[in-house]
Amino acid sequence: MEETRPDGAARIGILKMDAVIRRIPGDAGNPASYPFPVLFETVRGAGLARLIRERDPGIVAPFVEAGLRLVRQGVRALGTTCGFMILFQRELAGALPVPVFTSSLLQLPLIERALGPRGRIGVVTADSEHLLPEHLRLAGGSPERVSLCGLQDAPCFHEAIFSGSGRIDPAGVCREVVERSRRLCAADPEIRALLFECANLPPYAAAVREATGRPVYDALTLIRWVHAGLAPGSFEAIGPGEQS
């Protein structure tokens, strides 16, 4: 188990997929990605193929067990490192005693409402062949308002995430993510915001924002929002001589 700060109480716990991935800063599975204490627990046996391709409900039990271990350590909310875990949002939220945020896709309905009825959302995913309308609906989103872009056949991304080599070329992955995001926005000019399904993509959010001109939401924007609710800022009351 890892903690980002040895001297602070972690309010957030992150359940990691059992995958050989070099998690660079910005990745949802890297402690350096968070400005607050976070605890991590790898869910043994929860491989990417088992979730993304096989949709195996057998991974729910080990996720619950790992989540309970983190809860016993004092965490007050849980996240994960794969957006495809939205498949089991209902099961995990029902089985664990703290709020569970399985996927960055949970931000879909909020973004939809912020954009108005005509604004569309571009979702950049690790695997567009297996991210189905069902996943979007389980997140509360409207599939008809989403355009998808997949990275499963992008060479640098595939090597980093799916090959099991533990190698990554961050500059190469960044080029692929930026290029595909640009292409997605060019193909659908009604896209007004981008959402990264994949929790390995936040390191490239700034480059995509600059290249496309669209706001970018991801696993880290979700977890920062969750943490803000667990540790709200305190403000002095407005005194009688002050105006609102």
Dmax (CA) for the chain in angstroms is 64
Task: For residue 13, list its beta bridge partners.
Answer: 39, 78
Residue 224 in contact with residue 109, Cβ under 8 Å? Answer: no
Q: Is the pLDDT of residue 237 over 70?
A: no
Q: What is the mean pLDDT of residues 150-174?
A: 99
Name the pLDDT band for 180 (thresholds 50, 70, 90). very high
Residue 234's pLDDT band (boundaries 50, 70, 90)? confident
Beta carbons within 10 angstroms of residue 125's beta carbon: 23
- The helix (H) or strand (E) run that includes residue 64 is helix 60-72
Residue 28 has pLDDT above 90, yes or no: yes
Return d(Cα 150, Cα 7) in angstroms, integer: 40
Whether residue 243 is predicted with pLDDT greater than 60 in this model: the reply is: no
Angstrom distance (rounded) from CA 182 to CA 176: 10
Give me the numbers of helices (H) and strands (E) for the chain, helices first please.
9, 9
For residue range 106-127, what is the model confidence (pLDDT) as tens digits? 999 999 999 988 899 999 999 9
pLDDT at 116: 87
3-class state of residue 84 by DSSP: helix
| Average pLDDT of every residue of the chain | 94
Each residue's pLDDT tens digit, 39-50:
999 999 999 999
User: In this structure, how many other beta carbons lie within 10 angstroms of the beta carbon of residue 163?
Assistant: 14
Does residue 146 carry a pLDDT above 70? yes
Q: Are the CB atoms for 192 and 120 separated by under 8 Å? A: yes
**Please, what are the domains in the chain?**
2-103+225-230 (3.40.50.1860), 104-218 (3.40.50.1860)
Q: How confident is the model at residue 240 (pLDDT cuts 50, 70, 90)?
A: low
Q: How far apart are CA 39 and CA 2, in angstroms?
A: 6
Cα distance from N-terminal residue to C-terminal residue, the chain: 46
In the predicted structure, residue 16 carries a pLDDT above the cut 70: yes
Residue 5 has pLDDT above 60, yes or no: no
